[in-house]
Chains A and B, each alone.
Chain A
Amino acid sequence: MIVRLLLAALAAGLIAGMAMTPAQYVKTIPLIMQAEAYEGGGHDHGAVESTSSSVDAGTGVAQGADARAAHDRGDDSMLGLGRLGDTVLANLVAGAGFALILAAVALIAGIEFPAGRDGLIRGLVLGAGAWFCVQLAPSFSLPPAVPGFPYADLGDRQGWWMITVGLSAIGLWLLALRPEWIARALGVALIVAPHIWGAPVPEDLSSEVPAYLASAYAAASLATTLFFWLLLGGLLGHFLSRVPEEQAA
């Protein structure tokens, strides 16, 4: 049963991850490519990275130089698959990872998926909840950004992002699945807290990337990820409802 539960999550994640690549090529990646033309006043991506990685260690300089060399050759791929191939692979891994985490939340929180339509609808609701926690809640204070935007320190933003996703998930669980009013109030407080604390914001907000690209990108990112999470949640609900309950591991 354990293996079948994991395989059900994996299947849902790989299908949703596969569907994400065409969605990104329609909505987000054209905007990323347009924005890259403005990045660092026209530098390529590797050149920007090499300056930031050189702060870390000596190896960072070498890696940055490699990345720049790759860009000079006009080869965007680090794995030899080309930019499209890399993105397909990354989306499959991301889909599988998000699906396993979503399945883990459902299994540990004891959310059951009845067969048929009810399981599908519960899956969709779970996917929508995950979209709120992973995409919408962090974007209140740290909107999805195209390359070439002014950035605060990467580690600070990643830390804030992980804490916000975690607190939003706990908050939403308390708000939606706990009957006590004090638990619900605590849930709201957990969801709001990281935004009162504040996300890391760069001191200089000026950018050469046109504002239109940025606003179109934020909307496109939220729209494509909503598609991903609803598809993932629906598939997960459907597949998990079909795992036989009595079967041994």
Chain B
Amino acid sequence: MAVKIQTLSLTDRIGARTVAGLMALVIGSILVFGVGLANSQTLHDAAHDTRHSYGFPCH
């Protein structure tokens, strides 16, 4: 019984890590795209120095 509980909690843990990883990937990609790559004049001008400093293609 004890072994079974341990196995379940391990599976849950791996599942939670993967779910958290996928969520982080989606949110992080949106943020980085907005700061570094989005083709919006307002975003470009606000993030101009950051884009250049990180070596994002700019202008």
A is bound by B: yes
Residues of A near any B CB (own CB < 8 A): 1-2, 5-6, 9, 20, 24, 28-29, 32, 45-46, 48-49, 52-53, 60, 63-64, 66-67, 70, 76-79, 81, 83, 86-87, 89-91, 93-94, 96-108, 110, 134-135, 138-139, 142-147, 151, 154, 157-158, 160-162, 221-222, 224-225, 245-246, 248-249
Question: B46–A79 contact, CB under 8 A?
Answer: yes
With A94-B32, A103-B21, A158-B57 given, can you name 4 additional A-B contacts, CB distance below 8 Å? A77-B46, A86-B47, A101-B29, A104-B22
Report the count of interface residues on B (CB-CB < 8 A): 42
A224 to B52, CA, bound (A): 12
A209 to B52, CA, bound (A): 15
Question: B20–A135 contact, CB under 8 A?
Answer: no
Main secondary structure of the interface of B (DSSP, over half): helix
Could you jot down 13 A-B contacts, CB within 8 Å? A1-B16, A1-B17, A24-B49, A66-B41, A90-B47, A96-B28, A100-B28, A101-B24, A101-B29, A103-B21, A135-B55, A151-B59, A221-B55
A157 to B50, CA, bound (A): 17
Please indicate the chain A residues that have their CB under 8 angstroms from the CB of B49 in the complex. 24, 28-29, 32, 83, 86-87, 90
Q: A2-B16, A94-B35, A225-B54 are in contact. Are A100 and B24 (CB under 8 A)?
A: yes
Q: A1-B13, A94-B31, A101-B32 are in contact. Are A45 and B48 (CB under 8 A)?
A: yes
Please indicate the chain B residues that have their CB under 8 angstroms from the CB of A221 in the complex. 52-55
A157 to B36, CA, bound (A): 12
Smallest Cβ distance from A39 to chain B, in angstroms?
9
A103 to B24, CA, bound (A): 7
A111 to B59, CA, bound (A): 37
B42 within 8 A of A: yes
